[in-house]
Homo-oligomer: A and B are copies of this chain.
Amino acid sequence: MTQKRIYFGRFISTPKPDELWIRTGAVLVDSTDGRGVIEKTDWHVNGPNDAASKLGVEAPVVTAKDDGFFFPGFIDTHIHASQYPNAGIFGKSTLLDWLTTYTFPLESSLGNSKSPMYNDSSEPPDPLARAKAVYNRVVSKTLSHGTTTASYYATIHVEATNLLAEIAFKKGQRAYIGRVCMDRPETCPDYYRDESTEQTIANTRASIEFCKELDPSGERIAHIITPRFAPSCLPETLSALGALAKDEDLRVQTHISENLNEVKLVKELFPEQDSYTDVYDHHGLLTNRTILAHAVHLTKEEMALVKSRKSKISHCPASNSALGSGFCPVRELLDEGIEVGLGTDVSGGYSPSILDAVRNACIVSRHVGFLKGGDSRFNLSVAEGLWLATVGGAKVVGMEGRLGGFEQGMLWDVQEIEMGQIDESGGGWAAGVDIFGWESWEDRVAKWVWNGDDRNVKRVWVGGRMVHERKP
């Protein structure tokens, strides 16, 4: 039995940076094999009734309302699912004290009943129950914000990490699931680390196997090798993880050069390597499937090395500001030819929304310009921000040409956006974006970017399957 759907309405995407592509038309999606691929498109269709005959197929038609549009699903290239309950809780901390004050206690509480977070608890701890609540919430939440693909950090715990994989799979989000690797005693607390390189690798293998059983294709759910960051891993662990990523042909994710004290720490812990980037390269972790989060303080030489290895960068502007890490020079990275996507970096970043990351990327890019004497060349436009959130993200997670647009052969990972129109008396639907009616579609998209939220996300599909529908 074939399972085909026609989507009719306005389609907006960013095929190139700084280009808003806006068309009305129809797209035929085939979900027969469960993948949800765009089989055909037609940009000359006049209306929903016209669509089937133009596309030459009988299939149900899904229509976007005239005041809305289909937009490619967002790709969150860096998010710590386990940290979601701490979103917004960071005080005036910076990276290294933030980890010990807020992050390790929360993460450990998803698998360790002796976590310091349970010290004051009146009830007996149930870490897996907590993991279940947190992971159900964060997957539902990000879907509701239009995130169709997410590259997740979980925790060191195999059972809880596998639970995240299961929840993402069940809810239908495309997800890369990282069991966090950290086993260096000088930098990891006793209550939250793997005991040895052997245990790190064995636990990682357990999670790899679980993901493979869940989705043998690796298209919807796949494990991603996740050394927390260089300082938290024994050198032999980094090498073993590099080898494992190669053997299993898996993606890698880690952090790089987020904070100046962190950079200094890496220098102390790895005196034999030339740079932070070189540490990863030395251990076989700087691959063309590696996602490096932050990259705020890379030297020119490090950028060149990242570029030569075809590794990718996840830009997390909200986090870099909140934790006082610094400004990531996105324009410079793009000019170097490095592939960049956006990450929320919950909970270093306070928001689970990639639309918020687009806003913050635009804002921060202007601030980079302030530092360079007010040079507006560094400014990211709304279209460029959206491009980073979709096409850029697709490149970063190795799905270039398959996610981020409406071309034939691409996957139907899509969000339907809706905006409220104000009536003559100034009344109307009360969400963040108020459309008065005279705005061009370029301006409407800008209004969505700057004031939109999950209320504007009406429906979300991943691989042709509807995975979220806003409550009315």
List residues of A whose CB falls within 8 A of some B CB: 84-85, 87-92, 94, 117, 121, 129, 132-137, 140-141, 144, 260, 321-322, 324, 326-327, 350-351, 363, 366-367, 369-371, 374, 376, 379, 381-382, 422-428, 430, 432-434, 436, 438-439, 443, 446-451, 453-454, 471
| Chain A to chain B: the 6 pairs with minimum beta-carbon distance, closest first | A136-B426, A88-B450, A350-B450, A137-B426, A88-B447, A133-B426
Contact between chains at B430 and A137 (CB < 8 Å): no
Contact between chains at B132 and A369 (CB < 8 Å): no
On chain B, the residues within 8 Å of A371 by CB distance are 370-371
Contact between chains at A134 and B436 (CB < 8 Å): yes
Q: With contacts A140-B426, A426-B136 known, is A89 near B446, CB below 8 A?
A: yes
Report the Cα distance A129→B423, complex, angstroms. Answer: 11
Q: Which of B84, B90, B324, B382 contacts A369 (CB 8 A)?
A: B324
16 extra A-B contacts, CB within 8 A, seeds A94-B376, A133-B424, A326-B374: A85-B438, A90-B446, A92-B379, A129-B424, A133-B423, A133-B425, A140-B426, A140-B427, A324-B376, A327-B367, A327-B370, A350-B451, A363-B363, A371-B371, A432-B454, A453-B453
Report the Cα distance A23→B370, complex, angstroms. Answer: 42
Chain B nearest CB, measured from A155 CB (Å): 16
Contact between chains at B322 and A366 (CB < 8 Å): yes
Q: Which of B89, B121, B321, B376 contacts A363 (CB 8 A)?
A: B321
For this chain, the copies found in one complex come to 2
14 inter-chain pairs at a CB distance below 8 angstroms, sorted by A residue, are A84-B434, A88-B450, A89-B439, A89-B446, A91-B446, A92-B379, A117-B438, A132-B425, A133-B425, A137-B426, A324-B366, A327-B370, A350-B450, A350-B451
Contact between chains at A87 and B451 (CB < 8 Å): yes
Chain B nearest CB, measured from A348 CB (Å): 12
